[in-house]
Amino acid sequence: MAGFSFYYIEANIVCVVVFGIMLLHNHFNIDRQEKQIKFDHALLAFTLYFLSDSVWAAIVSNVIPKTRFNAVAVDFLLYLFMTGITYTWLDYVMAYEQAPHRNRPINRFAVVFPFLVSTIALILNYLIAPQALIDDALDTTLVYGLYLVTVPYIYMAAILFYTLRRARAEENPAEKRSHLLVGFFPLITIAGGIVEMWFLPDAPIFCFTAMILMLIFYIQSIERRVSLDPLTGLNNRGQLTRYCAQASNLQIEGRLTVVIMLDIDKFKAINDTYGHAEGDKALLVVSDALKTVVNRHGMPSFLCRYGGDEFIIIIHPTEMGETVRLIAEIREEIGRGERAFPLSVSAGYDALKDIHDTIQDCIVRADAKLYEDKKRIA
């Protein structure tokens, strides 16, 4: 038993070290977005859980003498941090999915309410009837097990409900997979814990499952920082260069390759009159409209914030009429809703002519047509 516990503790410490490295790296990142901060909260919850789990393993193996005090303390910490893992992941999911009104006080309270009720009930239970939670041998009872899993299951159900609904409404296959991965993360980690509990009790399956999955999300977040514009979530200019460097992205049999250049009309006036915060909102409205309309059409495409208020879309329609309709739909989408200032875009587009034409020349031609279109508001 002692040998198993030392191995178990070592595995937990490895997970703690890995999570700690990720936390430190994220902490010193100069461009910390809401999603990254929420992800760090989940990392911290995992770190504290596995530290507590290591102490539990030391108590079980009698490395640390087992007393009622330390048994109660560690069991309470395990409950607290296990619930904290699912609570922080739900918080991360809300930021990841850009859930509206997620930061309103009433909504924040609604999310934390089950956590508070369960924790207060557990403390009262310990004070009034501790034997219902820990027996004479200082082992936990079924009642404690119910406390341990009830609130996490509530949070997991909320995560699944929200992400499955978003995935069902998503037309882009890559985005659909992202929704599903974020939603099923808690179930996969719990599955690892069940395998450990019932089939491989000597192996720290839960620890390694959690570490592998968190590493996947961590690597994805780094890739997003490298390739995506932090404000709009669209590809950045560097990613455009990488995309265009692959000939297979630009030559699709039976389809055209069309470059659309767009920019926001009178964007400087929006910034000067209403402030840069409203200018950022304008950029978000346009980028969201681009995503919505392009995804609706379902054709191969690439979206990019080219710089400032300029955007590039590379699409592969079967005929040029699709391009005209897509631009018209983008303008219609941008025009929806009420805002403090008028918002519209100018657009120009051109297609690759033949195998000797280059994407750079096509961008130049589309840009020239963009400025021709802009003359209508001069």
Query: Which residue is it, tokens 């082992």?
Result: 139
Do 77 and 113 fall within a single domain? yes
pTM to 2 decimals? Answer: 0.70
The pLDDT tens digits for 127-179 are 999 999 998 888 889 999 899 889 999 999 999 998 998 888 876 676 788 88
Q: Where are the alpha helices (DSSP H) in 298-347?
A: 321-334
Do 221 and 76 fall within a single domain? yes
Measured in degrees and rounded to the nearest 5, phi and psi for residue 200 equal -130, 65
Do 172 and 143 fall within a single domain? yes
Of 180, 205, 226, the last residue of a domain is 226
Give the CA distances from residue 168 to residues 161, 172, 221, 301, 339, in Å, rounded to whole numbers and listed in that order. 11, 10, 23, 21, 29
The pLDDT tens digits for 221-259 are 777 777 888 888 889 988 898 888 888 888 888 899 999
d(CA 180, CA 174): 10
Of 170, 203, 226, the last residue of a domain is 226
The pLDDT tens digits for 165-221 are 888 887 667 678 888 888 888 888 888 888 887 877 777 888 899 999 899 888 887
Residue 172 sits in a domain whose CATH number is 1.20.1070.10
Q: Which two tokens stand for residue 268?
A: 């400087």
Residue 322 sits in a domain whose CATH number is 3.30.70.270
Q: Which two tokens stand for residue 364?
A: 């130049």
Do 268 and 325 fall within a single domain? yes
101 located within any domain: yes
Do 186 and 281 fall within a single domain? no
**Burial, 289: exposed, middle or buried (Cβ in 10 Å; 0-12, 13-18, 19+)?**
buried
Of 226, 257, 291, the last residue of a domain is 226
Range of lowest pLDDT (193-207, 270-284, 299-313): 193-207
Do 160 and 307 fall within a single domain? no
231 located within any domain: no
User: In total, how many domains does the chain have?
Assistant: 2
Question: How many helices (H) does the chain have, and how many strands (E)?
Answer: 13, 4
232 located within any domain: no
CA dihedral 336, 337, 340, 341 (to 10 degrees): 0
Measured in degrees and rounded to the nearest 5, phi and psi for residue 40 equal -65, -35
Do 209 and 260 fall within a single domain? no
Owning domain of residue 91: 2-226
